[in-house]
């Protein structure tokens, strides 16, 4: 039987189509282990690349911001430096230099150009010792100034500077070291000011003081000579002048006693005038001597009660009052640092004057108290006497000045001058207020009054105008 050939079975169209490629997931599943590892590495690299791309974009943005900030900061710094330069250039009376650590000039202001005569380009890079004299450079003065500034944090002194034209001037120099954040020196600032006029003024004052001292010495010698002459005059008055006065008074008294009955009325009147004149002359001599002594008297100060002094003087005056009706009103008076002997003379003169010029009154009232005037404590003595016209008040305290006739009120016109001298020696002053026929008030101040004594003032406390 013949062999039969097998006819292949017909292939379907679906089966004949090419085989489909597997998907990556299908491939991964079917891939061997080594290929799987490579695939994972590639995936990791892709992720890192994406992360780096994001970081690069963020860094680029940040870099742009920083670049913009740096540009703004640089612009601000440049503007600040320009303002600082303008400020320094506006300082015309001060020369300002910036130096490197070796003392070489880095910059200077317009004041330096005006003061030294060099332009900025001429001195740039040169050592600042250029402004010092050859002698100062030889002595190493510029270097010592820098060393002192570094050691002490600042140097200030006066020295002579030399200008470009060779002229010199005295300068006040201040050098300050400049340190960075780590404390390292990176330069100095030097400020100089022309003080030639100031030194000349100081020299003029010094010369004037020497002249004044010489004048004071000369005046002191002259005053010593005058004092010696015054001492001689005082001795002459107290001895040579008193003796003739005593003789005149004595012989007048003998004449009155032995031959008074033989004289007629005119003769007796003349004899009486001689006796009164000699007595008045004796009082005047005593007052002049007291006035002279006060000028030479040294104060022996101690704390004493003004009230006690007033009481002592009133006691002495009461013995001579006689039958007069006198009312003494004495308020609280403080203690003071004073010369008690001289202050007793003040009260003796003022109270005796008050008593004398109130003599025409049937009832005399004399008040002593304290008050205030322009913040100062004032002691006052008031009477109800005849007073005086205030237009003559400037004559009150002059020697031999009297506002009343000697026929009405006796006196020499020296007492108030003595009072004024004593108060002036105590650093005080005296003045008066009065009205004709309405009494007078004498007021005086005195340094050294204890104001705590006024804590309980009496009714004789008032404001003195």
**DSSP code string of 274-291:** HHHHHHHHHHHHHHHHHH
Q: What stretches of 181-241 show up as alpha helix (H) in DSSP?
A: 196-236
End-to-end CA distance of the chain: 177
| DSSP assignment letter at 21 | P
| DSSP assignment letter at 260 | G
Residues β-bridged to residue 376: 373
Residues 373 and 428: their CA atoms lie apart, in Å, by: 13
Residues 6+ apart with CB under 8 A from 446: 336, 338, 343, 377, 379, 423, 426, 427, 428
Residues 6+ apart with CB under 8 A from 156: 172, 173, 174, 175
pLDDT tens column, 220-236:
888 888 777 766 776 67
Residues 287 and 413: their CA atoms lie apart, in Å, by: 9
- Indicate left, alpha or beta for 125 from its phi (over 0: left) and psi (-120 to 50: alpha): left
Closest C-alpha among 378, 407, 402, 406 to residue 388: 402
Residues 6+ apart with CB under 8 A from 369: 329, 330, 331, 332, 333, 379, 380, 382, 458, 460, 461, 462
Q: Are strands 185-194 and 325-330 parallel, antiparallel or unpaired?
A: unpaired
Q: Would you state the pLDDT for residue 46?
A: 72
Q: Would you state the pLDDT for residue 79?
A: 52
Token pair belonging to 312: 């002592």
Closest C-alpha among 284, 286, 340, 339 to residue 309: 340
Burial of 290 (0-12, 13-18, 19+ CB in 10 A): middle
pLDDT tens column, 413-442:
778 888 888 898 888 999 999 888 889 999
Token pair belonging to 125: 């890079």
pTM assigned to the model: 0.48
| Chain-centroid distance, C-alpha 184 | 42
Which regions in the chain score pLDDT beneath 70?
1-34, 57, 59-60, 62-92, 230-231, 234-235, 237-240, 284, 287-288, 291-292, 295-297, 399-402, 404-408, 410-412, 450-465
Residues 77 and 63: their CA atoms lie apart, in Å, by: 20
Three-class secondary structure of residue 196 per DSSP? helix
Residues 285 and 197: their CA atoms lie apart, in Å, by: 59
| DSSP assignment letter at 1 | -
Q: Would you state the pLDDT for residue 88?
A: 52
């Amino acid at each position: 039987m013949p062999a039969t050939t097998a006819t292949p079975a017909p292939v379907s169209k679906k089966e004949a189509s090419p085989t489909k490629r597997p998907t990556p997931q299908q491939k991964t599943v079917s891939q061997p282990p080594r290929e799987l590892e490579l695939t994972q590495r590639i995936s990791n690299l892709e992720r890192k690349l994406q992360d780096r791309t994001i970081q690069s974009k963020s860094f680029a943005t940040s870099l742009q911001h920083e670049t913009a900030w740096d540009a703004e900061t640089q612009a601000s710094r440049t503007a600040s430096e320009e303002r600082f330069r303008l400020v320094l250039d506006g300082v015309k009376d001060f020369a300002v230099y910036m130096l490197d650590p070796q003392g070489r000039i880095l910059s200077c202001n317009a004041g330096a150009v005006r003061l030294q005569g060099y332009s900025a380009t001429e001195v740039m890079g040169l050592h600042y010792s250029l402004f010092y004299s050859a002698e100062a450079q030889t002595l190493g003065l510029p270097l010592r100034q820098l060393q002192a500034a570094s050691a002490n944090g600042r140097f200030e002194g006066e020295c002579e500077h030399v200008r470009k034209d060779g002229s010199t001037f005295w300068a006040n120099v201040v050098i300050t070291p400049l340190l960075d954040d780590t404390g390292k020196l990176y330069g100095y600032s030097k400020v100089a000011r022309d003080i030639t006029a100031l030194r000349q003024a100081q020299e003029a004052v010094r010369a004037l003081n020497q002249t004044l001292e010489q004048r004071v010495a000369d005046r002191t010698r002259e005053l010593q000579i005058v004092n010696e002459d015054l001492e001689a005059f005082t001795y002459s008055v107290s001895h040579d002048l008193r003796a003739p006065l005593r003789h005149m008074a004595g012989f007048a008294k003998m004449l009155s006693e032995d031959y008074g009955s033989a004289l007629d009325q005119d003769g007796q009147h003349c004899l009486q005038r001689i006796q009164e004149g000699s007595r008045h002359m004796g009082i005047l001599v005593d007052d002049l001597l007291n006035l002279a002594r006060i000028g030479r008297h040294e104060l022996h100060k101690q704390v004493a009660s003004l009230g006690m002094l007033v009481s002592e003087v009133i006691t002495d005056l009461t013995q001579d009052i006689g039958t007069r009706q006198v009312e003494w009103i004495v308020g609280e008076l403080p203690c003071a640092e004073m010369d008690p002997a001289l202050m007793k003379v003040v009260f003796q003169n003022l109270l005796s004057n008050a008593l004398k010029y109130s003599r025409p009154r049937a009832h005399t009232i004399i008040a002593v108290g304290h008050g205030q005037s322009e913040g100062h404590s004032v002691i006052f003595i008031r009477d109800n006497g005849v007073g005086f016209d205030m237009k003559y008040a400037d004559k009150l305290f002059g020697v031999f000045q009297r506002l009343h006739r000697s026929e009405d009120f006796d006196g020499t016109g020296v007492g108030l001058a003595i009072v004024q001298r004593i108060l002036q020696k105590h650093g005080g002053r005296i003045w008066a207020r009065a009205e004709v026929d309405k009494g007078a008030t004498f007021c005086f101040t005195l340094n050294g009054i204890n104001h705590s004594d006024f804590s309980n003032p009496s009714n004789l406390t008032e404001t003195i105008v």
